[in-house]
Amino acid sequence: MTIYIQDNHPAIDILKNEGITNIKPASEIGDQEVITIALGNLMDNIVETETQFTRSLSASNRDILLSPHTPTKRLEAAQITVNNTAEIVESGSKEDLIKLEKAYHRTQFQKPLSDIKNDPSIDAIILTGFGKYKAPLQQQTDPNDRESGVDFYDEFTGVLDDVREKNTPTLATCWAAHASLNYFYGIERKRKPEKLTGVFDLQVTQKDSPLMERLGDSFPSPISRYCYSDEAAIQAEPNLIPLAGSKETGTALAEEKNGSVVYSSVHPEYLKDTLKLENERDIKNMGKDNAPIPENYDLQNPKRTWDTVNTVFFSNFAEAAYNHHKAKAEAVSELEQQQITHIMQFQSDSLTGMIGQP
- The sign of the CA dihedral 213, 215, 216, 222 is negative
Known catalytic residue: 33?
Answer: no
* Catalytic residue from among 9, 69, 105, 267: 267
Task: Tell me the three state secondary structure of residue 347.
Answer: helix
Neighbours of 54 (CB within 10 A): 24
Known catalytic residue: 269?
Answer: yes
Asked if 23 and 12 count as a contact pair (C-beta separation under 8 A), the reply is: yes
DSSP codes of every residue in 238-266: TTEEEEEEETTTEEEEEEESSS-EEEE--
DSSP state of 103: H
* Catalytic residue from among 9, 69, 174, 319: 174
Known catalytic residue: 267?
Answer: yes
Q: What share of the chain is helix, strand, coil (3-state, %, to 5)?
A: 45, 20, 30
Give residues with Cβ within 8 angstroms of 338, minimum separation 6.
none
Strand residue runs (E) in the chain: 3-5, 23-25, 35-40, 64-70, 111-112, 122-127, 170-173, 189-204, 218-229, 240-246, 250-256, 261-264
Enzyme catalytic residues: 174, 267, 269
